Amino acid sequence: MTRWSIVLCSAASLMVSPVLAQEADDDAEEELEELVVQAQATVSVDHFAELTATILDDESINSVQAIHPNELMSQVPGVWISRNSGQEHLTAIRSGMLTGAGACGTYLLLENSIPIRPTSFCNVNGLFELNTEQAHAIEVIRGPASSRYGGNALHGVINAITITPLDVNSASFQLGSYGHSRMDVRLGNDHGGLAVNAITTDGWRDDTGFDQQKLNGHLNSNVGSWQVTHTLSMTSLNQETGGYVRGLDAYKDDALRFSNPNPEAFRDARSIRYASHWRSGDLLLAPFVRQSSMDFLMHFLPGQPLEQNAQRSGGVLLNWEHSFDKWELSFGGRGEFVSVELSEEQSSPTVGSAFLMATRPPGTHYDFTVNASHFGFFHDGRYQVNDTLAWKYRVRVETGNYDYDNLHLVGNSKDDGTPCGFGGCLYTRPADREDRFTDYSMQVGFERVFGAHAVFHASLGSGFRPPQIAELYRLQNGQEFADVESERIEALEMGLKYTTDRSLVHVTAYHEYSENLIIRDSEGFNQSDGRVDSSGIEIGLTHALAASHKLRMAQSWANHQYDFTQNLALREVIVAGNDVDTAPRHLGSVQWQWQPNDSLKSTVELTRIGSYFMDAANTLKYPGHVAVHWHGQWRLRDDWEIQAHVRNLLDKKYADRADWSFGTPRYFPAIPRNAQLGIKRYF
């Protein structure tokens, strides 16, 4: 009760505190409302996200021209997409930056409200399989949303919206620092559209270039009483990967930060998805198929094994929704079938100590397939009590079945079946088996209107994340069976949204308790023993300062603490009450936009990552940083535009991410000051 009381008091104080009295920008408000409708017309109405989701609109996406999702998602309070090497990244939504076992699949990535990956086989770098560079809008839901979207929506959801009429056709080309070049093409009309994005760069560190291509297409048609939209998405990434630079404050050292300790590292990834949305009256039917594959050198591990994985999956989403009298009701479900292949092979002996050489032998470490199926059913409703008060709820039950087939030797041995020294090989291959997980989720809440400008909302809900295939069958140190459970979260959220003719302000307070988090213990075993206690406040603000000036702000203050004590692998110790590592207490961004006329727009952006502990024992701290960026647009005529961007304007030396491994601090250094200049043609 103490935890909930603290949050209730905080939310109550927010309600009675003075709210901003300035009046808001008509255009900003109209754009936001329109985008919510377009985002949800794809599948169905989400009565909770309807009020609480943050929408990055087409203008926000195009003005930033992000090369990496980190540069775009800083506009959302409570969200941090850390920039690793190239297009690699890790995600934090109301959480610390999760790594290792349990990191993957805690955030659900959607494209037009359909998951881009199967529930049981996630990609921790999943945003490079979404065309965030050209999405019409990006919807971000913070907090658990499993009751609507199913497994993996544990901490939040990122939904890229691509199904929209394209009434502006354009082509642009951009050049920039470190061999950067970019092409964007958007063509279409009410019958369909095509968006193509291609980026290539030499990389600012040694041997860190990448080539990336993305395509989205959609086609609209009518079949009898059905309105049909077909979508196709394709992505390709070929990347030379840079490793960490090691040593205390190594990101400040010019000799180190431009270097790449792992010039041999690479990542090649491909994905293709097709979906067909059939809507007739209150009914929506959306079949889909997906395929992805990836080859990458695991340069961060001793021995540097090569992982190759692929998944093929397909399913259908069904939803029926209806409004009558004071009720809005929705019933639906999603089913999918999955086929996964994964292998890990080390081509040469491990370099290092006798222990490392003996326990990480060359040869095949893992080679297995998994056939899985997932079925989920949900129901949600909204009841309008009177003109100012509405109650809402939703529930979901979901089941997953896994059929694992080991294609290699069973047990803890070398490739040829002989035992490893020092007590056994690091890698263990369990025998064939089947597993099943059943999960449920719920959410209840209400919204209360105050006057013409303010809405207070509150909800209590839960979320779940079933174990991922790699956590169940990619075992170590002689563990023959991963006795893990689905991760769970319970969350209380309260918020106040205030809108006038010139301002939009949204303040949210939350408290979350996560349990069954999958960790790797001191013996290297996967266990679902972790627990984290989190609370925070988030503020989103858009305010028209004057006719030509607009201020946008996204700020969050959070406290994420471990609620268990455990010795982990690599001799790391967690103590209850410690801060979660790589979990800044403050995240923030401020954008000041100056637009003196219809032809010229200038945006200065400040982003801040607060200080955070680099290790779970809280012995080493990264001090945080502030970075400044600038974006400019100059419309020469109705059909030509010049775009310019200067990132890290003050050329500050900071780390995109800092952590601790094998007793040594390590960093991904941030790119120095860099610029891009482009030209765009509308036609």
Asked if residue 368 belongs to a domain, the reply is yes
At 406-431, the pLDDT tens digits run 999 999 999 999 999 998 999 999 99
Sign (positive/negative) of CA torsion 124, 128, 133, 134? negative
Confidence of residue 104 (pLDDT cuts 50, 70, 90): confident
On the question of pLDDT at 575 being above 70, the answer is yes
**Position 3 pLDDT exceeds 70:** no
Structural domains counted in the chain: 1
CA distance 492 to 486: 20
pLDDT in the model for residue 100: 72
In a domain, 626, yes or no: no
Over residues 194-216, mean pLDDT: 97
In a domain, 539, yes or no: no
Residue 231 lies in a domain: yes
- Residue 106 in any domain: the answer is yes
* More confident call, 190 vs 137: 137
Q: What is the CATH number of the domain that holds 91?
A: 2.40.170.20
- In which element (H, E) is residue 217 found? strand 210-223
Does residue 458 fall inside a structural domain?
Answer: yes
- Asked if the structure places residue 591 within a domain, the reply is no
Residues 6+ apart with CB under 8 A from 261: 243, 244, 245, 246
- DSSP letter (8 states) at residue 617: T
| Residue 165 confidence (pLDDT) | 66
Domain that residue 89 falls in: 2-500
How far is CA 178 from its chain centroid? 27
Q: Residue 51: which pLDDT band, with cuts at 50, 70 and 90?
A: confident
Residue 420, amino acid: C
pLDDT band at 683 (very low <50, low <70, confident <90, very high): confident
Q: What is the pLDDT of residue 529?
A: 87
User: Does residue 414 belong to any structural domain of this protein?
Assistant: yes
Q: What is the pLDDT of residues 492-518, one digit of tens each?
A: 999 999 999 999 999 999 999 999 998
Q: What is the mean pLDDT of the chain?
A: 91
Q: How confident is the model at residue 554 (pLDDT cuts 50, 70, 90)?
A: very high
Residue 392's pLDDT is: 97
Tokens 């070049």 found at: 181
pLDDT at position 45 is 64
Q: What is the pTM of this model?
A: 0.93
**pLDDT for residue 40:** 40
**What are the distances in angstroms from CA 233 to CA 127, 138, 236, 337, 593?**
13, 16, 11, 19, 33
Residue 30 has pLDDT above 80, yes or no: no
Q: For residue range 442-493, what is the model confidence (pLDDT) as tens digits?
A: 999 999 999 999 999 999 999 999 999 999 999 998 889 988 999 999 999 9
